[in-house]
Chains A and B, each alone.
Chain A
Amino acid sequence: MALTVLAPAGANDTAPRSARRSIGTVALVLLLPGLLYLTLFFLVPFVSLLMTSFGVNDPAEYGVFTYGFAWQNYIDVIAAYWPQFLRSFWYALLATVFAVLISYPLAYFIGVRLRDRPLWRNLLLVLVIAPFFISFLLRTFAWKQILSDEGPVVSTLQMIGLLGPQAHLTGTGFAVVFGLTYNFIPFMTLPLFASLDRLDTRLLEAGNDLYAGPATTFFRVTLPLSVPGLVSGTLLTFIPAAGDYVNASQAFLGSPSTSMLGNVIQSKFLITVNYPQAAALSILLMAVIVVIVGFYVRRSGTDDLL
């Protein structure tokens, strides 16, 4: 179900040319409503956000601003929130790396080792997407309880001396990265699975015949062939993780010292109602992501994303 969506895009785009005609009324009628919808509720709001980000906030009145051309918002938010900015991308990067480390063997096992056991393979795939069916917030809340000071993990770690008697897990960067990693594992595993599922095992055999050890075969054959899945997976993990603020918020796994950009945007928008600054932060977040994703996609050689 979700597999088709998360499969590396761009594959199998081989519709017969003959079936394609030049644009006519039918195509227009099919396209227009949806495109209009996206323009109205995605593009226009984005432009609106951009305009707001240059607005001038009225310090005297709550939530009031006038449109203008104030670069000052950008300078102010960078000066005030660069730690949260760096932290967002650092946490997202760590979570992405950990998600790859956990998901790759999982996807490899399901996609390659279980190839001849469809029953097991389907069962494990269902288990991978199972967390999707329990609310994202409840799962994160469950981890908060499990990792809390009274929870089993902290007391065990203290007993074996890995954690000091006064140490905590919740409210630390560790807990936030842990939560992010946990929440995005399925988003990493599914595209990797889709890639490895298509892997021709005869190539592994050929590697073996050419006297390559398992490690060489993996790094020279398996890994390069799974790059499309790796790219989709990292994007599906990194982008939402960089913008997430549930894991890092105080009611869940974070504390003020772990707050990410999303937390700042949310409180600027909904609590202190400084719309221009909230908008400037959102635009900055988006801009950095676009630059990173652009570089990454170009370097990994999979331009065709949809």
Chain B
Amino acid sequence: MSAAVTRGRAPVGLGRWLLPAYVVIAFTLLLIPIVYTFVFSFNDANRSNISWNGFTFDNWLSVCAQPEVCTAFGNSLIVGGTATLIATVLGTMIAIALVRYRFRARNAISLLLFLPMATPEVVMGAGLAAQFLTAGVPKGLGTIIIAHAMFCLSFVVVTVRARVLSLDPALEEAGRDLYGSPNQVFWRITFPLLLPGIVAAALLSFSLSFDDFIITYFTSGTTQTFPVFIYVAAQRGIPPQANVIASAVFFLAIAAVLVFQVISARRAAAWRR
């Protein structure tokens, strides 16, 4: 197939290296801010981390030297975890219902699920802020969690739905043929098969929540999440500890993705055997 592919495009002299060169430039562009953030996590700077003052490990050893950074990070973890739990449970239920049952309101429901993904965050944020204001709800961790679970829900539905669609109904049929009760069939067959999709949805939901700024800013009051902290600090200077946390999260996430890739590659290989 490889030979056919190359023949199909018949690269001219220029085309042979133009595309790879372009790709290298694009990746350089994508990765520059990451490298910058990482490098400046070692900057020997105090409050504002703008110019290079020399190399130090101190920021990594005393991450909570600026306590607001750690509080904000902790809040982000709490919000991300809780919102993900709510969105994943509710979203998975909707996804299963949408694929498995036929009913008249399907189109209306699809529209209701699509709208949050098509609405600019600033509009959703303003709407929720107006609503909390009218209802007299004080803004804080609770309102941030409500908002995050709301915008993560649709993404969970789309992700899990794809997994439900790819499920082989014969497996559940086999379960029923072997006299499994509906409950048993669901928990012993359907759920384990859906689990990778649910985990992917939860990870996506967590990362959306963790990185969200705009909606959070409208619903947070005086509570700070990590992105809100950075936004506020950007006016006077972001402490290097923020770079440490961001870099650490980055490496953890990349490591998790790589481990996930290796495991799924191994599994695929085992299946083929």
Contacts and interface: CB of A to CB of B under 8 A. Distances in A.
A3 to B, nearest CB: 9
Contacts of B86: 37
Contacts of B163: 4
Nearest to A13: B165
Contacts of A34: 90-91, 93-94, 153, 157
Nearest to A140: B33
Interface string B188-206: 0000000001001001100
Nearest to A202: B4
B15 interface: yes
A282 B9 CA distance: 47
Contact of B102 (A21, A127, A132, A275): A21
A12 B23 contact: no
Contact of A246 (B90, B153, B213): B213
A86 interface: no
A246 B98 CA distance: 36
Contacts of B124: 42, 45
B119 A286 contact: yes
A266 B217 contact: yes
Given A112-B5, A139-B37, A142-B33, A306 B217 contact: no
Nearest to A205: B8
B78 interface: no
B271 interface: no
Contacts of A145: 36, 50
A23 B218 contact: no
Contacts of A108: 19
A196 B203 CA distance: 25
Contact of B254 (A7, A133, A143): A133
Given A49-B126, A137-B227, A289 B33 contact: no
B184 interface: no
Contacts of A239: 118-120
A45 B231 contact: no
A19 B100 contact: yes
Q: What's the interface size class on B, roughly?
A: 35 or more
A116, A133, A214: residue with the most chain B Cβ atoms closer than 10 Å: A133
A27 B37 contact: no
Contacts of A26: 97, 101
A251 B163 CA distance: 42
B26 A27 contact: no
A289 to B, nearest CB: 7
A138 B235 CA distance: 13
Nearest to A92: B120
Residue from A41, A106, A116 whose CB has the most chain B CB atoms within 10 Å: A41
24 contacts: A1-B203, A23-B102, A34-B153, A35-B112, A37-B90, A48-B127, A49-B123, A106-B22, A112-B5, A126-B258, A127-B27, A131-B31, A133-B253, A137-B230, A182-B33, A185-B30, A214-B11, A239-B120, A240-B120, A244-B214, A245-B214, A266-B218, A306-B111, A306-B158
Interface of B: 1-2, 4-5, 7-12, 15, 19-20, 22-23, 26-27, 29-34, 36-37, 40, 50-51, 86, 90-91, 93-94, 96-104, 109-116, 118-124, 126-131, 133-134, 146-147, 149-150, 153, 155, 157-159, 162-166, 169, 197, 200, 203-204, 207, 211, 213-214, 217-218, 226-227, 230-231, 234-235, 238, 242-243, 246-247, 249-250, 253-254, 257-258, 260-261, 265
